[in-house]
Amino acid sequence: MPEGILCNRKPINTEEDLKRLLADKGGKQYYEEMKNMEVDVRALQNTLEKTCKSRTRTWLEICAHCSLCADSCFFYKANNRDVEQTPSYKINTTLGEMVRRNGKVDTEFMIRAMDIAWGKCTCCNRCGNYCPHGIDVGVMMSYLRGVLYSQGFCPWEMKIGAGMHRVYRAQMDVTTEDWVDTCQWMEEEGQEQIPSLEIPIDKEDCDIMYVLNAREPKIYPDDVQAAAMLFHIAGEKWTVPSEGWENTSLAMFAGDWQACADNVKAMYSAIERLRPKMVVETECGHAHRASAVEGPYWAGQEDGKAPVPYLHYVEWLANAIRDGKIKIDPAKKIKEPCTLQDSCNYIRNHGLEKHTRYIMSQIAEDFREMEEHGAHNYCCGGGGGMNGIGRYREERDRGLFMKLQQIRETGATLVISPCHNCWDAIRDTMEVYEVHDIKWSFLKPLILDMCIIPDHLKPQDEDEE
Amino acid sequence: MIELLSGPLFKISLLVFTVGLIFRLVQYVRGLDWRLERVAYSHMGKAGVIGAIWSVLTWILPFGTRGWRTQGFATIAFFFFHLGVVICPLFLAGHMVFMKDALGFSFPSLPVAVGDVFAMLGVLGGVMLLARRITLPQVRFLTDRKDIALLALCLLTLVTGMVARFDLFAYDFMLGLHMLSGELILILAPFTKLSHMALFFASRAQLGIDFAVKRGGASRGPAFPW
Ligand code: HEM
Ligand code: SF4
Ligand code: SF4
Ligand code: SF4
């Protein structure tokens, strides 16, 4: 069987196909079909020739097999120094072998490569900081994912995720109508606390256009409200677009480069339509990577820059606190020992560490750094799509242990995690390892609790409260 | 035999080495693609240049990076070995006399005793690298025959050179073997992982540019804290 009904090389483009794939619970039939899916060697060779260029080929060739990258990978450490978790080994036996054989590989090879590309690497890029030759295995893994995706070898959830972006322009089935409704609902509800609260939709020429993660309207609408309140308290002139509001990219995790580009373009066209001075993004790491770091390139911007500056939430917040737009009530600062999870995607891979450090200095009395932090942080264990892939749940759970140890070493009882994936991973860590004395949180709810709300924003009729 | 090795064979291998590595470097740069790597090479400006230089410099400085600092033994082994294999061919007094003869020019030469020290460090470092390769499971697991062969070839060159230099035994044979293995290194360089002699700089510079212009240079500054 060259291709399956559910498992094939065609991306998901219609709601119908998406629903059919979703109906295959856990991807049972999908993975069965994968076992018999043939590799289109000609197409694979063509892809390699066109996209595997000197940087990648040189990396694969000059690797000294010195294993200096081994200790840098949290998977290697968390798996009891399993030699098969050495970054160099992981990439050399997959992409390296594929290139050496010039694409003449079989189904079994592809499935194994898939299990490594998604099951043994979160594309956190830490190994790239530790290789003397400057070989970034995370970058190559991400490239390999694209190659595997083009051949249909991709975990079930990733195929669905990329399909979601293609069908809904969002990582979940949130339509424009759902989104607008949520904004209105959250606006009304929020007015109980701040009567003048607004969630302005499609307002032109604002200072800020806010973009976010579809999980927020879908699962955590309170987060949308918290963002609105903080913008309102800070006195920002802001808006959300009715379309082009999603900045995450499961397509990036899946290696579906076309869907990545389309997603970014949808956001950029909202910018064109509404002409904001800047974009502020929610607390999500990979979303920032996908829309502000890699995104401009996918959209074809030769200078590598988005049309207007993209500020991750931590950057906006740091500025707002610094400028006095958000005032922290000193009595309400966090008193318990707390630590911070640096998201690889905007810390190591986008240099925002100074903003998070500034925020922590303003909101916490007992802030404790993890031993490896900033650009050298370890991945939370759930990055690169791993949190969502059932097939690799065991691998993921084992990987989480590293972060737990790091957190424990600080003695913190609260972990601040301004990234959706990290937040999820930390939540799951505490569940998997049955830890009950450590809490975790995004920034927004904490800040909302401790910031001073100006009197004129409070409900006038105090008695009725 | 020695005549052949020190004459035409030397010149041929040096030619293969130089042309080969220059070709590899040119191919590397030509193969860079801003869309595929997603790095704005044509807009990299000063930050890119600083990032590239910083990325090379910190990594050729002993203990200059966190990576080197966290790997005591390997770092010492690496730097000893490379002091040997990089300094000796280029600056040993004996080599310079030979070079002047063969090519008509030479570099300034090191005092003989200093040269001897570098050669010994090279051997020591090489043995340490080999020991690491054989004993550490994570390195042994990655090692293939080529890795051993290339390291052994470098060691052979260093050791035979020293045996001949101190005239310990079989002078002619050792000198011949030294030249042969040295020339083999030159010839193999463009075609094996030894191409890193040139491509190391390319690869490091590229990653430096990547971090300086795309991955955080704008807020962190172009010098990534390697
Ligand atoms: C010109 C500058 C050079 C630089 C910057 C350089 C850099 C490096 C780096 C970063 C590694 C990988 C790290 C490691 O294995 O510890 C390495 C490995 C190696 N280099 Fe070089 N190298 C240079 C020249 C040379 C030369 C001239 C030779 C040989 C004649 C050589 C032979 C080797 C060998 C054999 C290895 C593998 C070591 C092992 O087996 O662990 N290198 N080099
Ligand atoms: S990727 Fe780098 S650190 Fe890892 S084995 Fe290869 S050369 Fe060594
Ligand atoms: S990118 Fe991260 S997870 Fe992947 S091999 Fe490197 S260190 Fe390990
Ligand atoms: S989930 Fe968080 S820590 Fe893990 S790779 Fe993504 S950003 Fe990094």
The domain that contains B157 carries what CATH number? 1.20.950
Q: pLDDT digits over A22-37, tens only?
A: 999 999 999 999 999 9
Question: Which DSSP letter does residue A379 get?
Answer: P
Residue A95 DSSP label? I
Each residue's pLDDT, cut to its tens digit, for chain B (226 residues) gives: 788 888 899 999 999 999 999 999 999 999 999 999 999 999 999 999 999 999 999 999 999 999 999 999 999 999 999 999 999 999 999 999 999 988 999 999 999 999 999 999 999 999 999 999 999 999 999 999 999 999 999 999 999 999 999 999 999 999 999 999 999 999 999 999 999 999 999 999 999 999 999 999 999 999 999 9
Flag whether the pTM goes above 0.90: yes
| CB A66 near ligand 2, within 6 Å | yes
CB A299 within 8 A of CB A268: yes
pLDDT per residue as tens digits for the range A44-90? 999 999 999 999 999 999 999 999 999 999 999 999 999 999 999 99
CA-wise closest residue to A157 among A360, A391, A349, A375: A391
Q: What ipTM does the predicted assembly reach?
A: 0.96
Q: Which two tokens stand for residue B115?
A: 């040269």
d(CA A155, CA A149): 9
* Strand pairing category for A208-211 and A278-281: parallel
With H, G, I as helix, E, B as strand and everything else as coil, classify residue A396: helix
CA atoms within 13 A on the CB side of A159: 31
Place of tokens 């000063």: B46
Structure token pair of residue B134: 């054989």
Please say whether the beta carbons of B119 and B92 come within 8 A. yes
**Are B196 and A62 a contacting pair at CB < 8 A?**
yes
Distance A222 CA to ligand 4 centre (A): 23
Tally of domains in chain B:
1
A141 lines ligand 3 (CB under 6 A): yes
Cβ–Cβ under 8 Å, residues A425 and A381: yes
**Residue range(s) defining the domain that contains residue B45:** 2-220
Judged by CB atoms closer than 8 Å, whether chains meet at A62 and B204 is answered as no
Q: Which residues pair with A238 in a beta bridge?
A: A208
Q: Which helix (H) or strand (E) holds B159?
A: helix B145-165
Sequence-distant (≥ 6) Cβ neighbours of residue A109 within 8 angstroms: A39, A97, A98
Flag whether B173 is in a domain: yes
The total of other beta-carbon atoms located within 10 Å of residue B158's CB is 27
Q: Is residue B226 part of a domain?
A: no
CA of residue A222 relative to chain centroid, distance: 20
* CA A341 to ligand 4 centroid distance, Å: 9
Q: Nearest CA of chain B to the CA of A113: how many Å? A: 17
Confirm or reject: Cβ of A183 under 6 Å from ligand 2: no
Chain A nearest C-alpha distance from B129 (Å): 9
CA distance A60 to A99: 9
Question: Angle at Cα A230 formed by Cα A229 and Cα A234, nearest 5°?
Answer: 115
Query: Of all atoms in ligand 2, which is nearest to the CA of residue A64?
Result: 7
Candidates B28, B36, B137; nearest CB to A58: B28
**Dihedrals phi, psi of B59, to nearest 5 degrees:** -85, -15
Question: What gap in Å lies between CA A350 and CA A369, rounded to an integer?
Answer: 19
Q: Which of B173, B148, B149 is nearest to B161 (CA)?
A: B173
The bridge status of strand A208-211 relative to strand A439-441 is: unpaired
In angstroms, rounded to a whole number, what is the distance separating the alpha carbons of residues A459 and A66? Answer: 65
In a domain, B207, yes or no: yes
SS3 A204: coil
- Output the six-digit token pair for A312: 């991750």
Q: Would you say A350 and A292 are in contact if contact means Cβ atoms under 8 Å apart?
A: yes
Burial of A366 by CB count in 10 Å (0-12 exposed, 13-18 middle, 19+ buried)?
middle
Residue B225 within any structural domain of the chain: no
Across A385-410, b (16+ Cβ under 10 Å) vs e yields: bbbbbebbeebbbbbbbbbbbbbeeb
Q: How far is A70 from chain B (nearest CA, A)?
A: 7
Please answer whether residues A194 and A163 qualify as being in contact, where contact means their C-beta atoms are separated by less than 8 angstroms.
no
**What pLDDT is recorded for position A465?**
45
Say what the pLDDT of residue A273 is.
97
Q: Does residue B37 sit at the A interface (CB-CB below 8 Å)?
A: yes
Can you name the residues that pair with A416 across neighbouring β-strands?
Answer: A340, A441
CB atoms within 10 A of CB A425: 27
Predicted local distance difference test score (pLDDT) of residue B4:
84
* Number of Cα atoms under 13 Å in the Cβ half of residue A430: 17
**Chain B residues within an 8 Å CB radius of A304:** 34, 38-40, 43, 213-214
Q: Which class does domain A330-450 fall in?
A: alpha beta
Tell whether B136 is covered by a domain.
Answer: yes
Residue B214 lies inside a defined structural domain of this protein: yes
For chain A, give every domain's residue range.
Answer: 39-154, 169-322, 330-450
According to DSSP, residue A185 is labeled: H
- Whether the Cβ atoms of residue B83 and residue B118 lie closer than 8 Å to each other: yes
The verdict on residue B59 lying in a domain is: yes
| Separation between Cα atoms, residue A55 and residue A147, nearest integer Å | 16
Spans of chain A, pLDDT less than 50: 465
Residue A28 is inside which H or E element, if any?
Answer: helix A28-35
The residue of chain B nearest to residue A315, with distances taken between CA atoms, is B219
Residue with tokens 């990258």: A69
DSSP result, A30-83: HHHHHHTPPP-HHHHHHHHHHH--HHHHHHHHH-----TTGGG-HHHHHTTS-G
> Cα(A429)–Cα(A65) distance, rounded to whole angstroms?
33
Phi and psi, residue A411, nearest 5°? 80, 10
Chain B residue closest to A60 (CA)? Answer: B193
> In this structure, which residue's CA is closest to atom 4 in ligand 4?
A383
- Helix, strand or coil, per DSSP, at residue A211: strand
Tokens representing B72? 């005591």
In the structure encoding, which two tokens stand for residue B170, read together? 């079989």
Q: What residues 65-104 of chain A have any CB closer than 8 A to a CB of chain B?
A: 65-68, 70-72, 76, 81, 83-84, 86, 88-89, 92
What tokens were used for A243?
A: 């379309």
Q: Which residues of B touch A350 (CB under 8 A)?
A: 215-216, 219
User: E strands along B66-209, which residues?
Assistant: none
Q: Is the CB of A422 under 6 A from ligand 4?
A: yes
